Amino acid sequence: MAVIKVILVIFALFLLCALLSSTTTSVSSCTAYYNDGGAAAVFQSPECGWSMSYYGVSKNHTMNCQSATLQGRRDYQEDRILCDLDVKIPFSAKNGLNQDMTVGIAAIFDGHGGSEASEMASRLFIDFFRLHTHFIREEIVDKFGYSHSSDQKPALDILKEALVRTIHDIDYKVTKEASKFNFDSGSTATVALLVDGQVLVAGVGDSKALLCSEKPITQQEIEDYIASYEHKRINGGKCPRRDYGDAEWTHLSAKELTRDHHPDRDDERLRIESAGGFVTFRRYDVPRVIGQLAVSRAIGDLRYKPYGVIAEPEVTEWQPLDLNDKFLVVSSDGIFERLNPQNVCDLLPNPSRKAFKLFSSCQDPECILEIAFEEGSSDNLSVIVIPIEASSRRS
């Protein structure tokens, strides 16, 4: 009987060692896939066990977000929206790293030359982002050790790096598919991350992200506003005019968080020309890469890659949201054919009793698109409007 017990113990130890060896080999193999081919390689490998989530099911994925999209005067809708303010990113179970982080994600992918690139980007983003977060965290733990604390900086740095790698891998995937299936489409990518009252934005192309923040407005600024809106007549002057007198007033002031990647920007033009491309400047047209592409950075656009068009995002630092920040807006460039960022903030509701308003506020994102369309925009139109609640600001 004792002999049988010894044999069973030895057999159990053998199975345990085999299991541990298999797991170690699988993890090591999966890391190798990641290092060699990024997110796409991991998802394609049966050894890794990563599978795509439900985010890839719908054309536009939005949760807990105010958003709208309008085909407008184009023959096809090539914009795609991704917005989820409750994405759970696991930071757990290793060296004290033991809690999930809630990340808000708001992204616009404005396609051109077809919808393939914007469609793929919107469907792949969250899964790729989660995967990169996991592997970057593991890299840091293995190299340096890491313990979660009240200081969020290491976690925020991981999210920032994961965002950059995600855009890189989506571009790689899109260009690979474009070569295989012979399509020429490209897409912008403007992505805002929200974590614990802080915001970070990455931009590729010319979709915009901006903050609308409550600020005092001077009497001179009021006079300038009245003059400019009398000329432009945005919103049709739906609200009766009033005498603002000499009282103190506030308005929602626009702060852009992105920089447009247009080929006439000096640094963008220099890169294009250094790669052997050129920028055309034609009357009644926007500057274009080799006379064709109106943006100097984009996901996809395989045919323009040899001429200096890249998908590397410009990324802001994390910045805290304060009590004056009322809305985060992410939108495609179609809105800005006829409106500017300040116009968009002027259309949003300012709850302050001292709010300066020339006309009625938009109560939903569709209103912004309708006004841009009525003003004459010829492009697809998409917008995400995120009210910054008190609970969303950093304590």
Within this chain, do residues 173 and 153 fall inside the same structural domain, yes or no?
yes
Which pLDDT tens digit goes with each residue over 183-215? 999 999 999 999 999 999 999 999 999 999 999
Lowest average pLDDT, out of 1-15, 66-80, 107-121, 297-311, goes to 1-15
What is d(CA 201, CA 208) in angstroms, rounded to the nearest whole number? 10
Mean pLDDT of 160-184: 97
Within this chain, do residues 276 and 244 fall inside the same structural domain, yes or no?
no
What is d(CA 144, CA 65) in angstroms, rounded to the nearest whole number? 38
Lowest average pLDDT, out of 90-104, 235-249, 336-350, goes to 235-249
Lowest average pLDDT, out of 73-77, 81-85, 144-148, 184-188, goes to 144-148
**Domain boundary, last residue among 204, 220, 249:** 204
Within this chain, do residues 361 and 231 fall inside the same structural domain, yes or no?
yes
Within this chain, do residues 58 and 45 fall inside the same structural domain, yes or no?
no
Which pLDDT tens digit goes with each residue over 137-159? 888 877 776 544 445 778 999 99
Within this chain, do residues 19 and 160 fall inside the same structural domain, yes or no?
no
Mean pLDDT of 168-175: 98
* pLDDT for position 98: 60
Inter-helix orientation angle 116-144/2-44, to 10°: 140
Owning domain of residue 19: 1-49
Widest distance between CA atoms in the chain: 100
Within this chain, do residues 271 and 347 fall inside the same structural domain, yes or no?
no
Which pLDDT tens digit goes with each residue over 293-340? 999 999 999 999 999 999 999 999 999 999 999 999 999 999 999 999
Within this chain, do residues 177 and 127 fall inside the same structural domain, yes or no?
yes
**Domain boundary, last residue among 34, 49, 64:** 49
Within this chain, do residues 212 and 186 fall inside the same structural domain, yes or no?
no
Give the SS3 label for residue 28: helix
Most confident of 58-62, 149-153, 217-221: 217-221
* pLDDT for position 14: 45
Within this chain, do residues 255 and 299 fall inside the same structural domain, yes or no?
no
Within this chain, do residues 159 and 39 fall inside the same structural domain, yes or no?
no
* pLDDT for position 299: 99
Within this chain, do residues 86 and 145 fall inside the same structural domain, yes or no?
yes
Within this chain, do residues 133 and 188 fall inside the same structural domain, yes or no?
yes
- The count of domains in the chain is 4
- Average pLDDT of the residues of the chain: 85
* pLDDT for position 59: 62
3-state class percentages of the chain: helix first, strand second, coil last, to nearest 5: 40, 25, 35
Against a cut of 0.95, is the pTM above it?
Answer: no
| The two structure tokens encoding residue 323 | 């009590």
What is d(CA 23, CA 50) in angstroms, rounded to the nearest whole number? 15
| The two structure tokens encoding residue 392 | 């969303």
Chain length of the chain: 395
**Domain boundary, last residue among 307, 331, 365:** 307
Inter-helix orientation angle 116-144/153-181, to 10°: 140
Q: Higher model confidence: residue 239 or residue 318? A: 318
Mean pLDDT of 276-302: 97
